[in-house]
């Protein structure tokens, strides 16, 4: 079995490639030209622009994968406010271009091509009810969410056309491979720096925002389970527990033995977003029931693993 993974140099792509290689797949991966990354050994790398539909169609025809995973894109809500057009080009137009390319491979080869889209809970915007599920209304409140909503709905269109396409509605998922532009890693790297005397304060935005934070390798495994399942469908992938940014800060500081964390944290309005969901929390019962998926790591363990990693990096 051959899998094609876009965004293979990123957090999710690298964990997914490791998972697929361990499961015996051959893995081809797409990386954006000129962006430094270190994908896992054993991945056959291709450089290319996801938003170039003709290039993607030619590449997929050449690779002829059994499974296509679309993980590339502008991955940050914060960046999507600065680059809304690029976000739409890559996350929305790029996604449908890749679905079309996968569809053509299936038509030409007359064998099933599974497609998995890395979707996002951000498409729910500021949801009226919690936890959210696959039927929760799609009402994004930022450019990132609207681009992910388009890709999610395009998956349903291609599934109806006969492509084995699934959209995974992923809630926040973290690891030491997260860049510090995300709040989890910003906090764990900042806390490690304070503990080791390399910094004196941590500057953050909205401490009251609540997110459902899971462990990235668990979310990568969910993607493979969806591709391998005989029936394509959409699934919420989440832990079902939400925590505030403030909880995250407190747990990270507690891990380095600092209880009076307020002394080190400053709120800077420049990190407060034009629109920000108050709480995202997902109901993954369909994925648990149909795919046999479950998260394997608790929120506290995610935070501790990241702080421990950042302490090690800081010491090196
Ligand atoms: P997102 O959910 O994909 O946007 O992931 P982030 O990790 O970037 O943000 C998660 C939540 O943390 C959002 O509600 C942000 O508003 C909040 N947050 C609070 N302070 C910060 C900060 O300094 N940086 C980032 N990135 N997010 C912050």
Residue 273 sits in a domain of what CATH number? 3.90.25.10
In the prediction, which pLDDT does 35 show?
79
In the prediction, which pLDDT does 282 show?
98
In the prediction, which pLDDT does 121 show?
98
Q: Is 231 in the same domain as 248? A: no
Measured in Å, residue 151 CA sits from the centre of ligand 1 at 22
Burial 6-25 (b: 16+ CB within 10 A, else e): bbbbbbbbbbbbbbbbeeeb
pLDDT digits (tens, 9 = 90+) for 158-189: 999 999 999 999 999 999 999 999 999 999 99
The pair of three-digit structure tokens given for residue 61, joined into one six-digit string? 């025809």
Mean pLDDT of the chain: 97
Residue 275 banded pLDDT, cuts 50, 70, 90? confident
Q: Which atom of ligand 1 is nearest to the CA of 182?
A: 7
Closest protein CA for atom 5 of ligand 1: 182
First to last CA, the chain: 39
In the prediction, which pLDDT does 274 show?
85
Q: Is 121 in the same domain as 154? A: yes
Which candidate in 144, 171, 219, 264 is catalytic? Answer: 144
In the prediction, which pLDDT does 152 show?
98
Query: For residue 275, what are the domain limits?
Result: 178-211+241-280+297-315
Give yes or no: 120 in active site: yes
Which candidate in 18, 25, 69, 122 is catalytic? Answer: 122
Q: Is 229 in the same domain as 304? A: no
Q: Residue 26: is it exposed, middle or buried by C-beta count within 10 angstroms (0-12/13-18/19+)?
A: middle
Q: Which atom of ligand 1 is nearest to the CA of 277?
A: 14
Q: Is 127 in the same domain as 199? A: no
Query: Across residues 273-277, what is the average pLDDT?
Result: 86
Measured in Å, residue 131 CA sits from the centre of ligand 1 at 19
Number of structural domains (the chain) is: 2
Query: Across residues 38-47, what is the average pLDDT?
Result: 93
DSSP letter (8 states) at residue 105: H
Closest protein CA for atom 14 of ligand 1: 209
In a domain? residue 199: yes
CA distances (Å), origin 246, targets 187, 194, 308? 10, 17, 19
Q: From the CB of residue 126, how many other CB atoms can be counted at a distance below 10 Å? A: 14
Closest CA to 148 of 280, 270, 19, 240: 280
Q: Is 6 in the same domain as 138? A: yes
In the prediction, which pLDDT does 37 show?
79
Answer whether 79 contacts ligand 1 (Cβ < 6 A).
Answer: no
Residue 81 sits in a domain of what CATH number? 3.40.50.720
Measured in Å, residue 97 CA sits from the centre of ligand 1 at 29
Q: Is 129 in the same domain as 183? A: no
CA–CA separation, 255 and 202 (whole Å): 16
In the prediction, which pLDDT does 210 show?
97
In a domain? residue 287: no
In the prediction, which pLDDT does 38 show?
80
Q: Is 114 in the same domain as 164? A: yes
CA–CA separation, 266 and 263 (whole Å): 8
């Amino acid at each position: 079995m051959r899998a094609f993974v876009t965004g293979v140099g990123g957090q999710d792509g690298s964990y997914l490639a490791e998972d697929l290689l361990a499961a015996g797949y051959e893995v081809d991966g797409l990386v954006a030209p000129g962006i430094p990354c270190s994908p896992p050994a054993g991945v056959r790398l291709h450089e290319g622009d996801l938003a170039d539909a003709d290039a993607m169609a030619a590449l997929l025809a050449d690779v002829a994968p059994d499974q296509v995973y679309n993980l590339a894109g502008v991955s940050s809500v914060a960046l999507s406010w600065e680059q809304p057009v690029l976000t739409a080009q890559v996350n929305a137009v790029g996604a449908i271009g890749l679905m079309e390319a996968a569809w053509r491979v299936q038509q030409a080869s007359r064998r099933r091509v599974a497609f998995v889209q890395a979707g996002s809970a951000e498409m729910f915007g500021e949801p009226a009810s919690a936890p959210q599920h696959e039927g929760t209304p799609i009402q994004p409140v930022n450019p990132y969410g609207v681009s992910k909503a388009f890709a999610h709905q395009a998956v349903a269109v291609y599934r109806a056309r006969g492509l084995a396409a699934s959209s995974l509605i992923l809630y926040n998922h973290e690891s030491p491979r997260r860049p510090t532009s995300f709040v989890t890693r910003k906090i764990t790297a900042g806390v490690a720096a304070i503990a080791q005397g390399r910094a004196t304060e941590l500057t953050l935005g909205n401490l009251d925002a609540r997110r459902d934070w899971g462990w990235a390798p668990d979310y990568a495994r969910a993607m493979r389970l969806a591709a391998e399942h005989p029936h394509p469908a959409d699934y919420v992938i989440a832990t079902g527990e939400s925590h505030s940014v403030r909880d995250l800060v407190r747990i990270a500081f507690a891990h380095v033995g600092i209880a009076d964390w307020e002394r080190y944290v400053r709120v800077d309005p420049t990190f407060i977003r034009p629109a920000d969901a108050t709480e995202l929390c997902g109901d993954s019962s369909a994925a648990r029931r149909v795919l046999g998926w479950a998260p394997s790591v608790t929120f506290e363990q995610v935070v501790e693993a990241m702080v421990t990693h950042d302490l090690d990096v800081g010491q090196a």
